[in-house]
Amino acid sequence: MSETELLIWVRGPALQIATVVFLLGGVLRIFEILALGRKPNLAEPRGSALAGGLRTIITRSFPNRDTLQRSTFNVVAGYIFHIGFFIALFFFAPHILLFDDAFGVSWPALPTQFIDAVTVVTMIALVAVLLHRINHKVMRYLSRFQDYLVWLVTILPLVTGYFAFHRIGLTPPLLIAVHIASVELLMVVFPFTKLMHAFTLFLARYYNGAISGYRGVNS
């Protein structure tokens, strides 16, 4: 298979397969969670479940002082690479063009130099997270294969995108093909690993907050 044929394949059939797996897998996981249901609460309500759920979604999105003091590195590094990945994905001009072609929506892009710098910082944060996990005895003991797999498929699109933008190592068509393939790998793995928390965390926070709100307790 030539470089051009490979690029056509990853931009066509491979992308279609990855998209189907991502969407169907994600919907299935969410359906499984919702299908579990919960037993009806027969106790007299002392507050609003809806208000408690929404409040918890907001409050749990920011670390409290104790958590920040106990796990400063994890909190700071986590915010850096999550925000950095979000910026690189949604505010890089070529990515916005892709969303425009696929969904007919677009928005202003951030300067290329800024995206480049954010990508580097995000990769450094992810490497730091991995080293911290390996060197921390408790985290290393608790880590499983999936934790390292999730780390790998998260950093690969950043690395391959950076290489493709700066044309490092390979020809431009092959660099782009590898970058797209790394994104497709992330999409395929996403619904079946801890990466799914990007969606389920809101369900979990709302659920916990709704129970507390129903009881009249702040979560």
pLDDT in tens, 113-128: 999 999 999 999 999 9
Closest CA relative to residue 154, chosen from 102, 196, 115: 196
The overall longest dimension of the chain from CA atoms, in Å, is: 68
Residues in the chain: 219
Q: Per-residue pLDDT for 43 more than 70?
A: no
Of all residues in the chain, what percent carry a pLDDT higher than 70? 90
pLDDT at residue 81 in the model:
92
| Range(s) of the domain holding residue 182 | 3-215
**If we measure between CA atoms, which residue out of 89, 96, 92, 98 comes closest to residue 112?**
92
- Quick check: 179 and 161 in contact, CB under 8 A? yes
Query: Within 10 Å of residue 180's Cβ, how many Cβ atoms?
Result: 23
Looking at the chain, the whole-number percentage of residues with pLDDT higher than 90 is 47
Contacts of 28 (CB under 8 A, 6+ apart): 191
CATH number at residue 74: 1.20.950.20
Determine if the pTM surpasses 0.95.
no
Please state, in angstroms and rounded to a whole number, the distance separating the CA atoms of residues 21 and 190.
Answer: 9
pLDDT mean over 96-124? 91
Neighbours of 120 (CB within 10 A): 13
Confidence of residue 102 (pLDDT cuts 50, 70, 90): confident
Domain count along the chain: 1
Specify the pLDDT at position 20.
94
